[in-house]
Amino acid sequence: MRYVKVRAHGKINLALDVIRKREDGYHEVRMIMQSVGIYDRVEIQFMGKLNTGYKIDIETNLKFLPVNENNLAYKAAALLMEEFNLKCHIVIRIKKMIPVAAGMAGGSSDCAAVLKGINKMFGLGLSEEDLKSRGVSLGADIPYCIMGGTALSEGIGEILTPLPPMPECYIVLAKPYINVSTRFVYTNLRADELTYHPDVDGMIAAINNNDFYGMAKRLGNVLETVTEKEYPIINDIKENMIKMGAVNSIMSGSGPTVFGLFDDVERAKYAYENLKASDYCRQVYITDGGNGDERY
């Protein structure tokens, strides 16, 4: 195959709890992950065989992103090309739609898409489990990004249990004009001092019962304790979402993207238009929990 095209979907965390910091520095988490209809377009093109080694070129529409081995898409391709001794030149083109450094796993999702794409292009025959076990060496969220959909994520993110699709609703996403480093948030989190933990089990029961309101009232993210303190705009956006009709609203991942869940498309559109017209949001989207297009 000379060309493959994969959609790399962004995610939100309907619940994000940190159980403890492990001795090795990683955080043990319990999270409910949910794909959204916002995705990067990832294309891989085979350029020709080489006598020795491999060559990976990265092209992207965002000039500030790395196009060398620091790009997670490069790391994914290099990992498989090294292991399977693939001597050739490929070009990976990434059209970014997922906000960057936003808590939506954009880089991890591109990485997962390239693992899947290289597997397909070269007929490597790796199963989803094979790809996940390789992916986790590049990032804790990558096994989930390979799988997508709705899932409980535990351990450092590598223990995944699929859940039924989230109850139908409309999701408005708003990223303010700040970038947040995931490392900064986890470094400053005091996991042993958390006084609140989201009701992850209650949320799983609500999702299993297709109970939108039971799910929405249990949205919760312990990383807000760090990011909101540093950037009060996050709380302002959450409050605005609720004023404009969201059933509930929290920050996704390590932030700063905030999302609101709506039971009514007109209210969701109203919030979307208002946030888009505001001067404090860099990117605003309206979507749903499917793997489909942005469609409202």
Query: Within positions 81 to 100, which residues make up the interface with ligand ATP, using CB under 6 A?
Result: 94, 100
Residues 3-62 that bind ligand ATP (CB under 6 A): none
Q: Which 104-123 residues touch ligand ATP, going by CB under 6 A?
A: 104-108, 110
Quick check: 258 and 251 in contact, CB under 8 A? yes
The number of beta carbons lying within 10 Å of the beta carbon of residue 295 is 9
Can you tell me which of 29, 31, 44, 65 binds ligand ATP, judged by CB under 6 A? 65
Annotated catalytic residue 243: no
Instruction: Provide, rounded to whole angstroms, the least separation between the CB of residue 235 and ligand ATP.
Output: 19
Task: Give the binding range for ligand ATP (CB under 6 A) out of 49-57, 65-73, 116-124, 125-133.
Answer: 65-73
71 makes contact with ligand ATP (CB under 6 A):
yes
Phi, psi of 181 (to 5 degrees): -90, 130
Kindly state whether residue 222 participates in binding ligand ATP, applying the rule CB under 6 A. Answer: no
In the residue annotation, 288 being an active-site residue is answered as no
Per-residue buried b or exposed e for 92-124, using 16+ beta carbons within 10 Å of the residue's own CB: bbbebbbbebbbbbbbbbbbbbbbbbbbebbee
Closest distance to ligand ATP from the beta carbon of 65 (Å): 5
Q: How far apart are CA 287 and CA 162, in angstroms?
A: 21
Which one of 73, 92, 173, 237 is in contact with ligand ATP (CB under 6 A)?
73
Provide the CB-side half-sphere exposure for 43 (13 A, CA).
10
Task: Tell me how far apart the alpha carbons of residues 214 and 209 are, in angstroms, rounded to a whole number.
Answer: 9
Candidates 136, 173, 179; CA nearest to 158 is: 136
- Closest residue to ligand ATP, Cβ-based? 107
Which string of DSSP letters, residue by residue, matches 104-153?
S-HHHHHHHHHHHHHHHHTT----HHHHHHHHTTT-TTHHHHHH-SEEEE
Among 15, 36, 72, 268, binds ligand ATP (CB under 6 A): 72
Is residue 9 a contact partner of residue 128, using CB atoms and an 8 Å limit?
no
Q: What 3-state DSSP class applies to 13?
A: strand
What is the per-residue binding string for ligand ATP in 131-170, x denoting contact by CB under 6 A? ----------x-----------------------------
Please work out the total of residues on this chain that contact ligand ATP, with binding judged by CB under 6 A: 21
* Given 17, 40, 110, 141, the catalytic residue: 141
Q: Which residues are catalytic?
A: 11, 141
Q: Which residues bind ligand ATP (CB under 6 A)?
A: 65-66, 70-73, 94, 100-108, 110, 141, 182, 253-254
